[in-house]
Structure formats: C-alpha cells, structure tokens
Amino acid sequence: MPTLVPLNNQFSSLADDAYLTIKQKIFSFEMLPGDLISEGNLVRLMQVSRTPLRQALQRLQYEGFLNAIPKIGWQIAPLDFNKLDELYDFRILIEGHAIKILCDKASSYDPLNELVKIWLCKASDRIQDGEQVGLLDENFHHQLVRIAGNHEMLRMHQEISERIRIVRRLDFTKSNRIQETYDEHAKILNAILDRRGAEAKRLLTSHIDQSKIEVRKITLAAMHEVKEKVKLKVKS
C-alpha cells in the first residue's frame, strides 16, 4: 500500500486541483485503463510543479486509479474484472440492505419523489444521451442508500461508485442499456413503493448482476472507440 506524503498548505490546493483533473480525465476516457503517462507530460499538461503533482499521483495510486511503474512513470490502472466483480457484489449487499430499510419504514416515501419523476416517466420523455443517463443511474443507486439513512453505508457506497465509475459510463455508450436501465429502475421503484421488499431486492440483484455481465464485454477496442468519440466531441 503506497504511503501518502503530507504537504504544506502552499501545495495542497494545487495537489487537489491536479488530483481532480486527472481523475476526471480517467472518468471521461481521455486517459484509458492501461495508458502510460509521464510526470513530465503531466507537468506541462497541468501547469503545476512536480511536488503537488506527485502528491496528486500518490493519492490516485492509493485509491487504486494509478500504478507506479519504476523507471517508466505511471499507468492508468488496467481493468481488473475480478476486483470489479467483488465491488459489484459489495454494492448488492449495501443496496439490498438499503432497500430492506426503505420497505420496512412506515414513513412517507416523499424522499423518493425525485427518483419517481426521473425513472417512472413516459417512454417519450426518457433521456437518450448515454452520459446523462450514466450520471442519473449513479445518482439513483446513491439516493436509495442515502434515503435509507446509514451514513457509514453511504460512505462505503460512494467509494465503490468511484472505483467502478469508468466501466459504468462505458456501459451507457450502448443504447439498449439505456432503455433496459429505465425499465429495471422503474420495476425496482414500483416494488419499493408497494413495500414488496423481497421482490425489490431480487430485481435490484438481477439489475446489478446484468451490469456485471455487460462489464465483462468491455474490450480495449471498445474503450479506444469511445476515446475517439470524446476527441471528436471536444473538437466540435
């Protein structure tokens, strides 16, 4: 496990900015799993000195987004499908427990109203942009855990969501997954609203298991195709 080196206040803000910028480039497919990056190139790209940059890189390494390659530089962590499977299984445990809490609660379901507006809309009102739906999907699962009210469970869920964000976004580059997600979320919500806890948990498990299957289909060629689309989008 890498050790984080503390910085004084002079560099902490610059390190935070570099950390967030690099992480966003990973999530937006500008930097793909397996890509090699050098500190020199990053210094020029980030317009920051090596000290705060190294702190940012060490932080990303600590969180599992980067690997340090001796005498070469840094590598965007390659996809580890076995580890992703474990993270998805952990999600099922957390979200399944959250659904049980929601279905057992005797209080109003007002906190779910925003999710109902998004996911129980008419088919003609469904958003077709994969990037937007990916963000809404992550928020859907986040809100289920948040509304359940267990703060430690929510913290762990947020960490898992960050670790799997890149593959979730790749999943939503396929139009069929957008429609399937709307359908599956609607069924989960309806089961929660009707207090059918066992069915809601079964639907959620099936929904996340399907995501695991789709993640396994991700190839290096598919990631590069998305990267090229991002480049064209930026230019236009």
Q: What is the pLDDT of residues 169-188, one digit of tens each?
A: 777 877 788 999 999 999 99
Residue 138: the pLDDT is 95
- Sheet of 36-37: strand order equals 36-37, 73-76, 66-69
**Which domains does the chain carry?**
9-79 (1.10.10.10), 81-217 (1.20.120.530)
- Across the chain, mean pLDDT equals 88
Q: Considering the chain, what percentage of its residues have pLDDT values greater than 90? A: 62
Question: Would you give the distance in Å from CA 3 to the centre of its chain?
Answer: 24
Q: Does residue 73 contact residue 38 with C-beta atoms inside 8 Å?
A: yes
The whole model's pTM is what? 0.81
Average of pLDDT values for 206-226?
Answer: 80
The runs of H, that is alpha helices, within 75-196 are 81-104, 113-119, 130-148, 151-171, 175-193
Q: 165: closest CA among 63, 236, 74?
A: 63
Q: Does residue 18 contact residue 49 with C-beta atoms inside 8 Å?
A: no
Question: pLDDT-based confidence at 7, cuts 50/70/90?
Answer: very low
Q: What is the pLDDT of residues 43-94, one digit of tens each?
A: 998 888 999 999 999 999 999 999 999 888 999 999 898 999 999 999 999 9
